Amino acid sequence: MASERRAASELQARLRGGQFVVTAEITPPVSTDPAEFLRRALPLKGLATAVNVTDGAGAKVHLSSLAAAHFLAQSGIEPIFQVTCRDRNRLALQGDLLGAASLGIHNILALAGDDPKAGDQPDAKAVYDLDSRGLISLAYGMREKGKLPSGTPIGGKLSFVIGAADVPVDPPAQWNPKGLFAKAQAGADFVQTQFCMDVGVVRRYAARLRDLGFKLPILIGVAPIPSARSARWMREKLFGTIIPDSIIERLEKAADAKAEGRKICVELLRELAEIPGIAGAHVMAPMNFAEIPAAIEESGVLKKKRKAA
């Protein structure tokens, strides 16, 4: 069985071991020089278990996620290769998955991708040959069968740890997260979520999933938000983001909003580590990268055992 295999990555090993896991996310620059990207990422070495590399975030062009993930791996940082369905048909997706495996990249996060109309080249045509569930199923099939969907055998080793994305909600009565369960059924190994800065919502979300029998480890998205203005923008522009008014008020009243944003993130990390059914946190800060390692280190959560589901 896949669950009995030796862990394919440090991320998978720590999730299996019950340690509270912290991942982070870095956006590659619009550059052919990886130096800027690595300056952003290297402070996370030894702190984040793995670092996501975004794939055309905001439907804007950046250094390719596959190349950037390779630079991380070369620098001793375990990458999570984000792959979107927006830009590739199933042939290109299979080629990039093979490419990732050939470069020693094991963790992937399957995403649909932002609509090009939201980006800076709105005339670009989206592909969406597969949806994110289809991409999860594709990667799972390649891993389990050692073959392409066409039946062509895959030479060499291929051991993906497959991530799915979700948007936490404050679950209403009769809530049935069919999409998340479908991703688990398709072969996902872990879940990373959109920003959810409301611990009460996380508790209720995790409890309901636990009651419904959901078993995959979940990492909740949080951020060191640098200002009330940024918090409002995130809540309005980033689909599914949950930031309570109380956090915006704290940022507004703070003498140093950036320091307060880090403090809030530290508090959230510590609280998440105590919630049954939550395996870790995913720290994102697109315009505030330097605060990510500071928040993780200050929180002291890296030695925590997660609460049993």
- Alpha carbon dihedral 60, 160, 168, 50, in 10-degree steps, equals -70
Q: Helices in 174-277 by DSSP H: which ranges?
A: 178-186, 199-211, 228-237, 245-253, 257-272
**Residues forming beta bridges with residue 109, ordered by sequence position:** 82, 163
pLDDT beyond 50 at 2:
no
For 186-215, give the secondary structure using H, E and C. Answer: HCCCEEEEEEECCHHHHHHHHHHHHHCCCC
DSSP 249: H
pLDDT beyond 60 at 127:
yes
The whole-angstrom separation of Cα 175 and Cα 217 is: 20
Report the predicted TM-score, pTM, of the whole model to 2 decimal places.
0.95
- Three-state secondary-structure class, residue 48: coil
The whole-angstrom separation of Cα 309 and Cα 306 is: 9
pLDDT beyond 60 at 53:
yes
pLDDT confidence of residue 302: 86
More confident residue, 180 or 2: 180
According to DSSP, the β-strands at 50-53 and 280-283 are unpaired
- Alpha carbon dihedral 306, 283, 100, 14, in 10-degree steps, equals -20
- The first and second tokens of residue 1, run together, are 């069985």
pLDDT confidence of residue 3: 47
> How many Cβ atoms from other residues are within 10 Å of residue 153's Cβ?
8
pLDDT beyond 50 at 209:
yes
- Chain centre distance of CA 171: 21
Q: How confident is the model at residue 195 (pLDDT cuts 50, 70, 90)?
A: very high
**Residues 280-309 pLDDT 10s:** 999 999 778 999 999 999 999 987 666 655
Which phi and psi (to 5°) does residue 20 adopt? -65, 120
pLDDT confidence of residue 303: 76
Which residue do the tokens 């948007």 mark? 167
**Residues 4-40 pLDDT 10s:** 578 999 999 999 999 999 999 999 999 999 999 999 9
In the chain, the N- to C-terminal Cα span, in Å, equals: 22
Helix, strand, coil abundance in the chain, percent, nearest 5: 45, 15, 40
